[in-house]
C-alpha cells in the first residue's frame, strides 16, 4: 500500500527547514551505506548526530505524533529518527530494498522496518528527474510530491531515486515499525478508519452506524496489534 499525505509540513515550516539545510554540511551518502547499497548510492547526507539533523528530525517527530492521517496509515510503534538527503546533478540511488532491522541511535532498541517514508522538502519544479520509483503489485509507481508532502510505502518494496539532471532534490527519510505488522491487515484498518471518519462527518459520531463501524475498527485493531 502506497499512501501520500499532504502538508505534513506547512509552507513556513518548509522554508525554515530549507534555511537550515541550505547552510548544512552535506557529506557523501556512501559513508552510511551498507556493502551492497554502496554500489548504487550516489547522493549526499547529513550527519545524524549533529545539528541541524537533530532538531529538524525532532520537529518532524513532534508533528507526526499528532498527525491523524499518519497515525491512521502507519499505526506507529517505533520511528527511526529522520535522516536527510540531498541529490544534485547526476546523483541517484539505484534499486534497493531497505534493511529489515535497524538499531535506533543512542538506544538499545531495535526497529523492524515495516514502512518507509520520504518527506519532500523541495518543490517538483526545483529539480529535474529525482523521482522516487516504488515497485508495487500494480507496477512501478513514480512519486514526486510538493514540498511538505510525504509518501509511505512498505519497506519490503524495491525502490530507487532516478538521476537528478538539474537543480537539487532535498528530502527527509525514515522508517516505522507498526503495531500491525501484516501489510494487508494494516491496509484494511486504514480503509476502515477512513470510512469511520467519513461516516462521522456525514452522520455524526453518535449515529448507530458510526458507533458500530468504529467498534469493528477497534476490535480488529485489538486483535491484530502487537505493541512492543
Which residues carry a binding-site annotation? Answer: 96, 98, 159, 169
Phi/psi for 214 (5° steps) reads: -65, -40
Q: SS3 sequence, the chain? A: CCEEECCCCCHHHHHHHHHHHHCCCCEEHHHHCCCCHHHCEECEECCCCCCCHHHHHHHHHHHHCCCHHHHHHHCEEEECCCEEEEECCCCEEEEECCCCEEECCCCCCEEECCEEEEEECCCHHHEEECCEEEEECCEEEEECCCCCCEEEEECCCCEEECCEEEECEEEEEEEEEECCCCHHHHHHHHHHHHHHHHHHHHHCCCCHHHHHHHHHHHHHHHHHCCCC
Query: Where is the binding site for 2-oxoglutarate, in residues?
Result: 169
Query: How far apart are the C-alpha atoms of 84 and 118, rounded to whole Å?
Result: 10
Query: Where is the binding site for Fe cation, in residues?
Result: 96, 98, 159
Amino acid at each position: 500500500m502506497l499512501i501520500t499525505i499532504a502538508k505534513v509540513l506547512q509552507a513556513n515550516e518548509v522554508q525554515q527547514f530549507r534555511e537550515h539545510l541550505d547552510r548544512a554540511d552535506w557529506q557523501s551518502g556512501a559513508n552510511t551505506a551498507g556493502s551492497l547499497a554502496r554500489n548504487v548510492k550516489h547522493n549526499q547526507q547529513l550527519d545524524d548526530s549533529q545539528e541541524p539533523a537533530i532538531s529538524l528530525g525532532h520537529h518532524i517527530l513532534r508533528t507526526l505524533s499528532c498527525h491523524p492521517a499518519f497515525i491512521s496509515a502507519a499505526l506507529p510503534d517505533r520511528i527511526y529518527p529522520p535522516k536527510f538527503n540531498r541529490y544534485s546533478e547526476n546523483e541517484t540511488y539505484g534499486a534497493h530494498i531497505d534493511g529489515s532491522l535497524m538499531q535506533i541511535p543512542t538506544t538499545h532498541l531495535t526497529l523492524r522496518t515495516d514502512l518507509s517514508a520520504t518527506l519532500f522538502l523541495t518543490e517538483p519544479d526545483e529539480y529535474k528527474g529525482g523521482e522516487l520509483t516504488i515497485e508495487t503489485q500494480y507496477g512501478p509507481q513514480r512519486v514526486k510530491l510538493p514540498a511538505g508532502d510525504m509518501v509511505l510505502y512498505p519497506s519490503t518494496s524495491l525502490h530507487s531515486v532516478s538521476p537528478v539532471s538539474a537543480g537539487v532534490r532535498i528530502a527527509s527519510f525514515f522508517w516505522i515499525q507498526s503495531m500491525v505488522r501484516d501489510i494487508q491487515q494494516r491496509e484494511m484498518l486504514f480503509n476502515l478508519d477512513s470510512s469511520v471518519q467519513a461516516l462521522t462527518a456525514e452522520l455524526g459520531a453518535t449515529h448507530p452506524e458510526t458507533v458500530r463501524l468504529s467498534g469493528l475498527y477497534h476490535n480488529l485493531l485489538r486483535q491484530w496489534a502487537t505493541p512492543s
